Amino acid sequence: MGKIRVVLVDDSSLMRGLLRTFLEDDEDIEIVGEAGNGRDAVNLARELKPNLMTMDLEMPVMNGMQAIEEIMTTKAVPILVVSSVADAHNAYEAVARGALEVIAKPEYDAKAASEFVAKVKMLAGVSVITHLRSRLKGKDTACALPPLAMHPPLLVPHDNVSVGYSRIFAIASSIGGPQALALVLAQLPADFPCPILVSQHIAAGFAGGMADWLASLCKLRVRLAQEGDLILPGVVYVSPSEANLVVARSRRIVLQEQLSAAIYHPSCNALLNSVAEVYGCQSVGIILTGMGSDGAQGIVSIRKAGGVTLAQDEASSVIFGMNKVAIDSGSVQKVLPADAIAREMTEIASVSSVASHL
């Protein structure tokens, strides 16, 4: 195996220099090129055939969004967006166009350097999947719907008002998850009768932007989960990265403090285990694409509690990792391609809803 060939793309020479400093001391990585605008990045992707490109979004001549789209339709390359947290919504538009993951522009310290090197090594080995991108882009997709601001306001009942739903859906995902989530959630009908909780591994500060981006694609309301939120039917709650989303017996959301040694932010197991404990056989656990094994143990918990368990299949996964571990555990009842999961969710919710009224 040769070295990992990396191209750095940012209009700031200072930022390129910082990223170069992080990477150049690693003997497994070789920086083969740099670009200060999107047009040069497209040319370097063709000429140098790198294993990975880092990509800024705001650049002259051609911005990062346009560059990603052109690269992914000509010479597909794993792309890591390195962007400002303030531009989080646009960062997930970049994911829709084929970028693998988004991180914030790092500070100069040893921890940031170590995390950045690990991220580059992990993503460089990914076989880029471009077929999901075309389903999520512009007018070519059936899920381009009004943004969150155009939804009616969320009406939260008082504590003494019963909130009825027959199932609760908990989704775990990591690398490749935003694309899969967009595909799944956008296919759900506006009258989907159950709440959906999402734990997606994500860089600090970007969860709100991802929630807004998903809301712009979906008929359902999508919101960043907040402490004490009452869990309502037909609402998607996205966990922040800085805390673990778990549920309380009062059917409210708790944002649980993460352990200092935690690897995953947020923890998928924390969400799935709490849903299994509180909702038991009402639980539906879904594990999507991602690196590692987070969520697999939580899927086991949901199955043991009598709930329903689903997993994304290998063919539609960017990384067949955490879903593979869950499948191998024997606790996944049905393995489906990403574009079939929403239909299965709707069937589960409708059957349960009818049964609850018999």
- Cα–Cα nearest to 307, from 341, 282, 333, 271: 282
pLDDT per position as a tens digit, 178-212: 999 999 999 999 999 999 999 999 999 999 999 99
pLDDT per position as a tens digit, 268-295: 999 999 999 999 999 999 999 999 999 9
Please give the average per-residue pLDDT across 140-166, as a whole number.
Answer: 46
pTM summary value = 0.88
76 has a pLDDT exceeding 60 = yes
Query: Which homologous superfamily is 153-356 in?
Result: Methylesterase CheB, C-terminal domain (3.40.50.180)
Name the more confident of 141 and 318.
Answer: 318
Asked, colleague to colleague, whether 4-128 and 153-356 share their fold, the answer is yes
User: Which CATH class name applies to 4-128?
Assistant: alpha beta
146 has a pLDDT exceeding 50 = no
Q: What's the confidence (pLDDT) of residue 344?
A: 98
1 has a pLDDT exceeding 70 = no
Query: What is the C-alpha to C-alpha distance for residues 319 and 139, in angstroms, rounded to an integer?
Result: 27
Query: What is the C-alpha to C-alpha distance for residues 250 and 128, in angstroms, rounded to an integer?
Result: 42
Please give the average per-residue pLDDT across 302-329, as a whole number.
Answer: 97
Q: For residue 353, what pLDDT band results from cuts at 50, 70 and 90?
A: low
Q: Is the dihedral of CA 93, 98, 102, 106 positive or negative?
A: negative
Please give the average per-residue pLDDT across 322-337, as a whole number.
Answer: 98
Q: What's the confidence (pLDDT) of residue 2?
A: 87
| Strand arrangement of the beta sheet that strand 101-104 belongs to | 29-35, 4-9, 52-55, 79-83, 101-104
177 has a pLDDT exceeding 60 = yes
253 has a pLDDT exceeding 70 = yes
Q: Which residues, 6 or more positions from 11, have their beta carbon under 8 angstroms from its beta carbon?
A: 36, 37, 56, 58, 59, 60
229 has a pLDDT exceeding 90 = yes
Q: Which residues are catalytic?
A: 174, 201, 294
Domain range annotation of the chain: 4-128, 153-356
Q: For residue 113, what pLDDT band results from cuts at 50, 70 and 90?
A: very high
Q: For residue 313, what pLDDT band results from cuts at 50, 70 and 90?
A: very high
